[in-house]
A and B are shown apart, each in its own frame.
Chain A
Amino acid sequence: MALAVKSWKALGTSVHVLATDAGELVTATTAVSEVLDEVDIAYSRFRDDSELSRLNAGPGRPVRVSPLLAMAIDAAQRAARLTDGAVDPTIGHAIRVAGYDDDFSRVADRGRPVNLRAWRVPGWQAIRFDRRSRTVLVPAGVELDLGSTGKALAADLAARAALAAAGAGGVLVGLGGDIATAGTPPSGGWRIHIAEDSRVAPDADGEVICVPAGGVATSSTTVRRWTRGTAVLHHIIDPQTSLPATGPFRTVTVVAATCLDANIASTAAIVRGEAAIDWLLSWRLPARLVENDGTIHYIGRWPDPSGVAAGATPYSGTRPAVRGWSASFSSPASLCWALCQRCAGRPLPGRGSSPPVCTATWRWRPSFSSRFTS
């Protein structure tokens, strides 16, 4: 089945729409464009006239927001809740102070040093949001940034709208590397080239997976980088420090039921750092993690890369069939604390949730983890 493809730029990034029925491509792209226009005016951080900008500009009072912005805030709060705050919408001030204060195409590559302090962002709990009345209250000093979940949500909404407009068949929407699908996939599934940068050509050497349905998202610290003084900064902010995340993984790709869920998981994995593997395993999400030194980890039911596209550089390395789990604690008190945290439904190790006097390490060994070296 020949797929019809249309690509263009929107929301400061690339948009790709694929349709299994070539005759419905125009209809599908029109629907996608409309959704992206609505998203832009609802929650763009870089438009003064967006609903989100007006909300941030008038803190301290309840505001009734549009259904789309309400959906985006709801999605952001859900992301924060499910990631124990690793993906938090209240990083707006932190990312602006770090230098990402405009559409990225207008952010200067290099600039004067910025004074960055490590401090905890206000936290998603500070936002008062009533889903039924669509009323939100942003306290003074808090700035919302829905960029992390907003793009993935937009991809999901666009794919759904495109399918509804097309009426049948299957649609894929790629929005800056975040991929959402809807409807009947092409034979064998949607082919996704996994890269660290979404600008890499789809036919370049590398790993390709086939996804019958759901979403794929990749978060990476290797793109959207800028330099201030001697510091190299990027756009994935750790809410615990308000600084760009400094974990061991530079790129994480996740496959989930929706692009939004995949993006939540991939972003949280970058922020969580070493604890990401255990956390992703607990959600049973297939994921591919690239360490800063290039080492690649495959977890969950990620397909075996030994059968990658012809011409791709083969991976070498061992597959240590590690099974089972172990846990170690520095003291009985830390064990009790860890168990209490688990009972409270908080994954371990929870960043920023460590007790002040003891540290607990909770190390699940991945059941079907594979380790390859690129």
Chain B
Amino acid sequence: MNSLTPTQRDRGLERLRRLTVGATAGALVAVVGVGYVAAASYAGKSSATASATAANTTTSTTTSTDSSSSSTDSSNSLQQAPQVPTTGSSGSGTVTSGGS
């Protein structure tokens, strides 16, 4: 078995240290990169948007007029109705939504 000289040993240790640092840095970059891609991939909304939506949901009818007038202002997304629809029953004043 070959014995290493102190110089060879120091050189080997230095190489090992560089490899360790490099691997750590690479892993860090990979984690950040994958995290960024994963965040961008998830089809969600920013918390600000979500808060605004939640606020709209609890606002009364004054919001409805505002939202109906913003059809072309909110150009970057399809806007949800300020309040969710509920189940109803047929009666006077019912209109049909269907293909035409």
Contacts and interface: CB of A to CB of B under 8 A. Distances in A.
Contact of A160 (B68, B91, B100): B68
A248 to B, nearest CB: 16
B88 interface: yes
A182 B98 contact: no
Contact of B70 (A151, A186, A257, A301): A257
Interface in A210-253: 210-224, 251, 253
Main secondary structure of the interface of B (DSSP, over half): loop
Interface in B68-84: 68-72, 74-84
A183 B98 CA distance: 23
Contact of A193 (B40, B72, B82, B96): B96
A256 B72 CA distance: 14
Contact of B78 (A156, A281, A283, A310): A283
Contacts of B7: none
Contact of B95 (A18, A188, A285): A18
A223 to B, nearest CB: 4
Contacts, number: 240
A354 to B, nearest CB: 17
A363 B96 CA distance: 33
Contact of A210 (B65, B87, B100): B87
A71 interface: yes
A250 B53 CA distance: 30
Contacts of B8: none
A168 B45 CA distance: 34
B95 A303 contact: no
Given A18-B93, A78-B75, A215 B68 contact: yes
Nearest to B79: A257
Nearest to A308: B87
B83 A212 contact: yes
A173 to B, nearest CB: 9
B46 interface: no
A197 to B, nearest CB: 5
Contact of A343 (B40, B88, B99): B40
B2 interface: no
Nearest to B34: A339
Interface residues of B, number: 43
A347 interface: yes
Contact of B71 (A18, A196, A258): A258
Contacts of A339: 37, 40-41
Contacts of B80: 214, 256-257, 283-285
A177 B97 contact: yes
Interface residues of A, number: 98
Contact of A174 (B43, B72, B97): B97
Interface in A119-169: 151, 153, 156, 159-160, 163
A303 B83 CA distance: 12
Interface stretch (A35-43, A55-63, A91-99, A260-268): A260-268
A223 B82 contact: no
Given A210-B88, A282-B43, A302-B85, A179 B95 contact: yes
A137 to B, nearest CB: 20
A307 B74 CA distance: 34
A177 B85 CA distance: 17
Most buried by B among A153, A180, A190: A190
A7 B40 CA distance: 48
A69 to B, nearest CB: 13
Nearest to A182: B68
B95 A16 contact: yes
Nearest to A257: B79
A343 B37 contact: yes
Contacts of A78: 72, 75
Interface of B: 37, 40-41, 43, 45, 53, 61, 63-65, 67-72, 74-100
Given A202-B94, A301-B84, 8 more contacts: A182-B64, A182-B65, A194-B98, A221-B99, A251-B99, A256-B79, A256-B81, A257-B71
Closest 10 CB pairs of A and B: A220-B99, A213-B64, A214-B81, A176-B100, A257-B79, A3-B93, A282-B43, A210-B88, A198-B98, A195-B98
